[in-house]
Amino acid sequence: MPGLFYGLSLTLMQASKFGLVYLMLIVLMFLSMIDIPMFQAGEIRQGFLLIGLYFWTIYRPHLLPYPVIFLLGIFTDLLSGALLGLHAFCFMVLAIIIRGQRRYLLGQSWQMVWAGFFVAVTITQGFQALAYAITSSALPQLWPLSANIILASLFYPLFHPLFMSYNHYLNE
Amino acid sequence: MNFSLKSSRKEKKGARRTIVVAYSRRNRRRVIRAASIAVRYSRYSPMILTGLAAVLLVTSMFNPDMWKDPRTNTTDAAAPIISAIGVPFRLVGDAFGTVTGLTQIRAENARLHSENDQLKEWYQTAMLLRAENQSLKDLLNVLPEPDQSYITTRVIGDSGSSFVKTILIEAGTLDGVQEGQAVMGGQGMIGRVIEAGAKASRVLLLSDINSHIPVVIEGINQRAILVGNNETFPELTHLPPDILVTKGARIVTSGTGGQFPAGLPIGEVNSVVSGRVDVRLFSGTEGSDYVQVVEKPMNPSVRKSLDILMMPTPSSSKTTLHR
């Protein structure tokens, strides 16, 4: 009987450890939509969820199967008022690309991983700009778009050590 | 007899074993089939899901209202969570504002004193003008403008994107919010309600590329359309080529179409460069925790007839007394 309880508690602990990753992603998704007084500009916050998706796709891909990524994208679209399917499409394309390159990225320094995130943000922002250019029949301006990409990328080094230490904790 | 019994038992056992073997084979086949489906699915699922996302995207690009109901329902369901997650950030923001604000209070106080003196003079002028305006309206028998009522509510979220300029407010149809209502910030109009859920609503800001508002330039009384461009300063379109627009001219709602009340302040002309007229909005969304939703204006003639209907008649007053 004590063995059963020990086994059960161990399983629950494991589940909660991995479940916290999903909780982090959900909180990041909501954070990108909350009117935070410190970060008024939307362009700074829109990379939050992308940071989580990017990191965990590289370091724990089994925790983020494609249907989960798709659902996160759909919820982001529904909650942010964006075109339905836009984030879902961007996240899916990114997940496919990142999974293809993860072996390479795993062996690189965090600066290189950050550079990879810059590329990921550029792809997402570029595709979003294209989609809105088609719907509004107006070309997006290059400078604000570049500024958005840079600002969204700047936040990655803040999250990377936190996620990395949690990733090490998951290994224990 | 005994022998026949034994043989029948053996037969039964054999048959049972055959059934078990057949069952286990069938089971194994099922497992293999399920595994092969799972492998096939895992191989093709990214493609299937990406395709599905692309289909959803194309449908919402060509028919944005197609997914309005799921969007409104999701926003409604998530509004309490968004509001709850935002509480600590609001508290930190308020505390930060209080600390930094203490150093500015002295300067702010001096500025407000001088501004108050000026406003007192303006108040007297405004009272005179109001009385004069009312007497002229009475002389001309002008139908009175309907009274405006407001719903004050908190901003709980925004789109978090530079391509969509919307905010989420903590009031819905249960509070009297309807689609199309104008939304005011501290100084002027900031947008209009585009989705009204039961408990939360989405507001399209004036700076969004899909925002088109009928306005009038005060002073020259020229009508135009204020069009958002996802930038800081929306621009005025549908202006005649020979019109002279000066910098600083006030822009207010024209009330055309009956969507918004006329005269809601929006902003002032910021620059006029080679025919392009940019408008600086009086009220941005930055730093505004609360907004006011303006109820739709009622047709004055409809209002008048309603007033007549609602006027207490001798019979109705009697009925009331009787009750």
ipTM, interface predicted TM-score of the complex: 0.86
Q: Which pLDDT score, from 0 to 100, does residue B281 have?
A: 92
Q: Is the pLDDT of residue B205 over 60?
A: yes
Q: Which pLDDT score, from 0 to 100, does residue B15 have?
A: 65
Using CB atoms, pick whichever of B45, B64, B158 lies closest to residue A33: B158
Same domain, B186 and B287: yes
Q: Which pLDDT score, from 0 to 100, does residue B268 have?
A: 93
CA nearest to B86 within chain A: A34
A8 contact partners, CB below 8 Å, separation of at least 6? none
Flag whether B114 is in a domain. yes
**Mean pLDDT across chain B:** 81
Same domain, B94 and B12: no
B77 phi/psi in degrees, rounded to 5: -70, -35
Mean pLDDT of B212-234: 90
**Mean pLDDT across chain A:** 86
Interface residue A105 vs chain B (CB under 8 A): no
Token digits of residue A99: 């999974």
Mean pLDDT of B231-241: 89
Same domain, B193 and B130: no
Flag whether A5 is in a domain. no
Same domain, B93 and B171: no
Q: Which pLDDT score, from 0 to 100, does residue B21 have?
A: 64
Q: Measure Cα distances from A110 to A37, A97, B123 in Å.
A: 30, 18, 63
Flag whether B110 is in a domain. yes
Q: Is the pLDDT of residue A59 over 90?
A: yes
Mean pLDDT of B211-231: 90
Flag whether B308 is in a domain. no
Flag whether A8 is in a domain. no
Token digits of residue A7: 């086994």
Q: Measure Cα distances from B295 to B173, B182, B183, B242, B303 in Å.
A: 12, 7, 9, 36, 14
Interface residue A36 vs chain B (CB under 8 A): yes
Flag whether A125 is in a domain. yes
Range of the domain at A145: 23-171
Flag whether A122 is in a domain. yes
- CB-CB neighbors (< 8 A) of B231 in chain A: 141, 144
Is the Cβ–Cβ distance between A167 and A59 less than 8 Å? yes
Q: Are B157 and A35 inside 8 Å of each other by CB?
A: yes
Same domain, B157 and B136: no
Same domain, B54 and B80: no
Q: Are B53 and A88 inside 8 Å of each other by CB?
A: yes
The total of structural domains in chain B comes to 3
Using CB atoms, pick whichever of A33, A86, A138 lies closest to residue B57: A86
Range of the domain at B55: 1-62
**A21-52 as b/e: b if 16+ CB within 10 A:** beebbbbbbbbbbbbbbebeebbbbbbbbbbb
Same domain, B200 and B242: yes
Q: Are B59 and A84 inside 8 Å of each other by CB?
A: yes
d(CA B189, CA B181): 11
The C-alpha of A168 sits at a distance from chain B's nearest C-alpha, in angstroms, of 27
Q: In the A/B pair of chains, how many CB contacts fall below 8 A? A: 156
Q: What percent of chain B has pLDDT over 90?
A: 25
Flag whether A13 is in a domain. no
Q: A39-48, A90-99, B70-79, B217-226: lowest mean pLDDT where?
A: A39-48
Flag whether A10 is in a domain. no
- CB-CB neighbors (< 8 A) of A133 in chain B: none
Flag whether B314 is in a domain. no
Q: Are A46 and B97 inside 8 Å of each other by CB?
A: no
What is the per-residue pLDDT across B5-39, written as a single tens digit (0 to 9) for each?
A: 555 666 666 666 666 666 677 788 888 888 777 77
What is the per-residue pLDDT across B85-108, written as a single tens digit (0 to 9) for each?
A: 888 887 887 777 777 777 678 788
Q: Are B89 and A34 inside 8 Å of each other by CB?
A: yes
Q: What percent of chain A has pLDDT over 90?
A: 43
What is the per-residue pLDDT across B103-146, written as a single tens digit (0 to 9) for each?
A: 678 788 888 888 898 898 899 899 999 888 888 888 887 776 66
For chain B, count helices (H), then strands (E): 4, 12
Tell me which of A25, A27, A35 to substitute to probe the interface with B (most B C-beta atoms closer than 10 Å): A35
- CB-CB neighbors (< 8 A) of B289 in chain A: 35
Length of chain B equals 323
d(CA B221, CA B213): 16
Tell me which of A34, A44, A134 to substitute to probe the interface with B (most B C-beta atoms closer than 10 Å): A34
Same domain, B168 and B292: yes
Q: Are A84 and B167 inside 8 Å of each other by CB?
A: no
- CB-CB neighbors (< 8 A) of B197 in chain A: none
